[in-house]
Amino acid sequence: MASVIKHRKVKIVVLEQGEDMSAQCRPGDIALLSDAAGWWIKFVGAGGQVDCYGIPYASYNEALWAAKAAAEFGT
């Protein structure tokens, strides 16, 4: 089950493996998800468009810090 962290009025949605991002996230949200490569940060835009940083973070804490920093500047 996804968990939600609010930071500067931005929803950061932490998805569990296999969860559908489109079912859990709305435009303006930031999604965090992991796979074998690491933790990915994905930005959900209007119309379901998704943008992503090019490389994953090694840990959940690094990805969460980066997501919070992005929320500081607005997505």
Q: Encode the chain (75 residues) as per-residue pLDDT tens digits.
A: 888 999 889 999 999 988 998 889 999 999 999 999 999 999 999 888 998 988 999 999 999 999 999 998 865
Could you say which DSSP state residue 16 is in? P
H or E segment at 6?
strand 3-7
For 2-74, strand residue ranges (E) read: 3-7, 10-14, 30-35, 38-44, 50-52
The encoded tokens of residue 49 equal: 């468009």
Going by DSSP bridges, is the β-strand pair 38-44/30-35 parallel, antiparallel, or unpaired?
antiparallel
Could you say which DSSP state residue 9 is in? T
Distance between CA atoms of 2 and 19, rounded to whole angstroms? 8
Quick one: pLDDT at residue 69?
A: 93
What's the pTM value of the predicted model, to 2 decimals? Answer: 0.89
